[in-house]
Amino acid sequence: MNKEIYEKNIESIRKKYESWADFIEEEKYKKSPFIYVDTDKSIDGQTIFRVSNDGKLFYLNGKYNPSYAGEDWLEQQGQIEDFATVVIVGIHDAIHIRNILKNVKKTTNILIYEPSIEVFVKALEEVDLSFLFEEDVPIGILVDQINDKEKKIFLQRMITYDSMTMLKIYISGNYEKLFTEKVEAFVEDIRKRVMDTIKNWNTIVRYTNVNAVNIFNNCKYMYDGYSIYSLYHMLPPEVPTIVVSAGPSLNKNIQDLKAAVGKANIIATDTAMKPLLNAGIIPNFFVVVDGLKPGDLFRHKDISKVPMVTMNAISVEPMKIHKGKKFFYASDSQLETEIMTRAIQKDKKSMGMPSLASGGSVATSAYSLGIYMGSKTIILVGQDLAMTGNKTHADGTFKDKMDTIDINSGEYFEVESVDGGKVLTRMDFKLYLDWFEEQIKEQSQIRVIDATEGGAKIHGSEIMTLKEAIEKECKKEFNVRYRVSRRPQMLGEVGKEEMLKILEGLPGKLIEVKKKAAAGVRQYERLEKLSKKNQYTEKELEKLLKQIGKTNKYIEEDYMASIVIDSLKGMEYTLRPSIYRTKEDSQEEMHDIAQNGKVMLQAVGYAAEEILQLVEEKVIPFTEKQRQRNAKKAGKK
Amino acid sequence: MREKQEVLKKAIENLDIVCEKIKTKENYMQEMPKCVEAVNGAVMMLLAEENSNQEYIVQLLEDMMYGMTQQDEVFLLDVLRFGLKTGLEACYHQFEN
């Protein structure tokens, strides 16, 4: 060991991550008996590492020109763009890291992952790594056993929609062979993060055009609505929740569900409602999450008998068709936040509207609701997450007899089935399957029984028939319906009054946003002009940028402007990647900024106008009617 | 002199092929016998030369054998590219002068 180097490294680590230094010095880590790290000298005298792991022996760098490490990779990458994320697997002699750092810009996000504590400790003893821990070096470092649990947080922070198309991964020589499992798992985590980011963005973009329409149509139901907050831990832990989804296997055991009525909390997904009601089963709740769900799924004479768990962003028709109790969860809408915040501030009787953890599908939301309500056992029914019988959903959902899929379309692939064989699935189902498996792993106190009797295997769940599951788990009589009927409404009288005031003030707020956007467009037009002419004073530019800054601040911070911006995510989607591509010439860059800003604010103006029309058609008539009703009520009193 | 240069050139070309295959993670083992033969020819020729650095040449050959038998591509690529190829190229230019 080179004591001098080791002490220098520890000292620099201590300055940045004190707990790391203690962890290493006190040898709190667990060394693998199979990993041995040794050093060798290159021809020019540099320290290089040689690692043996479980019979495999490999060098981590070459002997004749170790300084070249990473150069082939850099050549392959070409120019690394501003704001790109570079992930480096392996620290050891850190020569490759120095080479990569020399070739990236200051705006590059660097994440380094060392999958072996043994290599890391040896490296601290032999090579100078202090540059990695200097205060002004914005590098994220993950080291096996020290902080690798923060992997998810780092990936969330470093891989975003903006940076993911510029993501670069460098895996140090022989790490894949020596630490196969850990490296593969890390790369899989990165892949998952990218997939999630795409999924989230696609969802946002898919729904934003309809989001505003849905929210401004649906917000009126909050007035007499309920919050899922009132359902929190309503159930004794021994009462299980049965989540009924509309997978193809539902047709097989739907009749068995009758035995669970009154002994379990039955939550149906939206699509499963029709088959359930047709089978004479009235669940305790049904959940909706989709902003585009067609109303046909809900046209049933008994639909209003079942409380709906919903949010403002779901499609308009189901909300209109269903006349029963509506329990709201948060939809991440600024309008809703404004209403709830102000109502709670002014009214002690008003309650919050929590969000519901979701893996992207209605069944995942129903699952989270069951746990939120207090169940310790969740029984999944109709949760195929696969094309059982080459169908997407159970008969009686979208059609009386569902069509079979074209298995050769290239959209489907095989996963393990509950019976140990293989079954076809598609990407969105696979993502939900991953979500369930992750939840089961993370929430070890929750028992999950898969009583679907078909479909994909959900690892970590217990597999049994629905009959068996009901016999074993649904033993206690518990009247969920009665408890639900005793829940108070979400808003108290004062909160309701506050809500009406906000809704009545919407037209005025939207006109304000329109005016600000128009002023912003004019400012960007002036900036565009400046970018075209070569002569302008610094003062002139500074003054204009100050005005633009003020407009942007308003657009970013005002709640109504945020609502309007949210309705434009599809547009932002096309503008955002270009924001990070810097231009060589500052005048060209100024021109680009002006163009993007102008387009965005023009769109804000149009969107504000559209929403204004919507508010006048849908919201104002409601407030007027409600005022009349309230006046009538007050008169009677 | 020209003949010697030809022998070196052949070895360098073979080294290039193997290095490229290792870099692109292709199966390089099937190219290895041809490459070893060409490198052997060049090395034998160099060892017969006066003033040759025999110790260094032997070390290079040992390292090449080590990289091959261990299938350690990081080590092997470095030996082939920065040890052998660079060395043979230097000899080629010496013969040229």
Q: Residue A286: which of A275, A296, A274, A273 has the closest Cα?
A: A273
Query: Residue range A582-596: average pLDDT?
Result: 69
Query: Residue range A265-286: average pLDDT?
Result: 94
**Contact between chains at A63 and B81 (C-beta distance less than 8 A):** no
CB neighbourhood size of A5 (10 A): 18
pLDDT number for residue A280: 94
**Contact between chains at A64 and B78 (C-beta distance less than 8 A):** yes
- The domain segmentation of chain A, as residue ranges, is 3-178, 209-493, 505-636
Q: Residue A382: which of A368, A403, A361 has the closest Cα?
A: A361
A66 in reach of chain B (CB within 8 A): yes
Collect all residues of chain B within an 8 Å Cβ-Cβ radius of residue A68.
78, 82
Percent of chain A exceeding pLDDT 70 equals: 94
Nearest CA in chain B to A173: B74
Query: Residue range A252-271: average pLDDT?
Result: 94
Q: Which two tokens stand for residue A631?
A: 């006046």
pTM of the model: 0.60
Give the whole-angstrom CA distance, residue A551 versus residue A53.
Answer: 59
**Contact between chains at B86 and A173 (C-beta distance less than 8 A):** no
- What is the interface size between A and B, counted as CB pairs within 8 Å? 42
Q: Which of B74, B81, B83 sits opposite A61 (nearest CB)?
A: B74
Here the ipTM equals: 0.92
**Contact between chains at B74 and A62 (C-beta distance less than 8 A):** yes
Q: Residue A32: which of A50, A49, A52, A48 has the closest Cα?
A: A52
Q: Identify the residue whose tokens are 């629905």.
A: A466
A482 in reach of chain B (CB within 8 A): no
Min Cα–Cα distance to chain B from A613, Å: 60
Give the whole-angstrom CA distance, residue B2 versus residue A131.
Answer: 51
pLDDT number for residue A296: 81
Query: Residue range A109-129: average pLDDT?
Result: 94
pLDDT number for residue A570: 53
Give the whole-angstrom CA distance, residue B66 versus residue A113.
Answer: 29
Helices A569-579 and A180-218: angle between axes, nearest 10 degrees: 140
Predicted confidence (pLDDT) at residue A394 exceeds the cutoff of 70: yes
A173 in reach of chain B (CB within 8 A): yes
Contact between residue A244 and residue A276 where contact means Cβ atoms under 8 Å apart? yes
Give the whole-angstrom CA distance, residue B97 versus residue B94.
Answer: 5
**Contact between chains at B75 and A72 (C-beta distance less than 8 A):** no
Which of the residues B74, B76, B81, B89 would you substitute to probe the A interface, choosing the one with the greatest number of A C-beta atoms within 10 Å?
B74
**Contact between chains at A64 and B79 (C-beta distance less than 8 A):** yes
**Contact between chains at B83 and A57 (C-beta distance less than 8 A):** no
Q: Residue A269: which of A377, A118, A385 has the closest Cα?
A: A385
> Which residues partner with A363 through β-bridges?
none
Collect all residues of chain A within an 8 Å Cβ-Cβ radius of residue B77.
62
Predicted confidence (pLDDT) at residue A561 exceeds the cutoff of 80: yes
Predicted confidence (pLDDT) at residue A586 exceeds the cutoff of 70: no
Which of the residues A49, A53, A63 would you substitute to probe the B interface, choosing the one with the greatest number of B C-beta atoms within 10 Å?
A63
Q: Identify the residue whose tokens are 């010439």.
A: A585
Torsion over CA: A69, A72, A76, A80 (sign): positive
pLDDT number for residue A572: 52
Three-state secondary structure string covering A478-536: CCHHHHHHCCCCCCCHHHHHHHHHHHHCHHHHHHHHHHHHHHHHHHHHHHHHHHHCCCC
| Phi, psi at A245, each rounded to 5° | -105, 175
Collect all residues of chain A within an 8 Å Cβ-Cβ radius of residue B86.
64
Collect all residues of chain A within an 8 Å Cβ-Cβ radius of residue B74.
58-62, 173-174
Give the whole-angstrom CA distance, residue A413 versus residue A423.
Answer: 8
Reported for A38-46, long-range contacts at CB under 8 A and 24+ positions apart, including other chains, are A39/A122, A39/A126, A42/A66, A43/B83, A46/A93, A46/A95
Min Cα–Cα distance to chain A from B7, Å: 23
**Structure-model confidence comparison of residues A508 and A596, the more confident one:** A508
Q: Rounded to whole angstroms, what are the CA distances from A141 to A16, A147, A154, A564?
A: 11, 8, 9, 39
Q: Which of A60, A62, A66 sits opposite B77 (nearest CB)?
A: A62
The helix (run of H) or strand (run of E) holding residue B47 is helix B32-48
Q: Residue A523: which of A540, A506, A507, A535 has the closest Cα?
A: A540
| Strands of the A168-171 sheet, one edge to the other | A139-143, A109-114, A85-89, A168-171
Q: Which of B63, B73, B82 sits opposite A68 (nearest CB)?
A: B82
pLDDT digits (tens, 9 = 90+) for B41-91: 998 888 887 777 888 888 999 999 999 998 999 999 999 999 999 999 988
pLDDT digits (tens, 9 = 90+) for A339-354: 999 999 999 999 999 9
Number of residues in chain B: 97
Give the whole-angstrom CA distance, residue A123 versus residue A129.
Answer: 8
For Cα atoms A376, A228, A345, give the angle at the middle one, nearest 5 degrees.
130
A174 in reach of chain B (CB within 8 A): yes
Collect all residues of chain B within an 8 Å Cβ-Cβ radius of residue A58.
70, 72, 74-75
pLDDT band at B1 (very low <50, low <70, confident <90, very high): confident
pLDDT band at A609 (very low <50, low <70, confident <90, very high): confident
Q: Residue A498: which of A113, A305, A112, A222 has the closest Cα?
A: A222
pLDDT band at A162 (very low <50, low <70, confident <90, very high): low
**Contact between chains at A66 and B78 (C-beta distance less than 8 A):** yes
Collect all residues of chain A within an 8 Å Cβ-Cβ radius of residue B23.
72
Nearest CA in chain A to B68: A58
CA atoms within 13 A on the CB side of A366: 34
Q: Identify the residue whose tokens are 């310790």.
A: A376
Q: Where are the beta strands (DSSP E) in A357-489?
A: 377-381, 412-416, 422-426, 447-450, 462-463
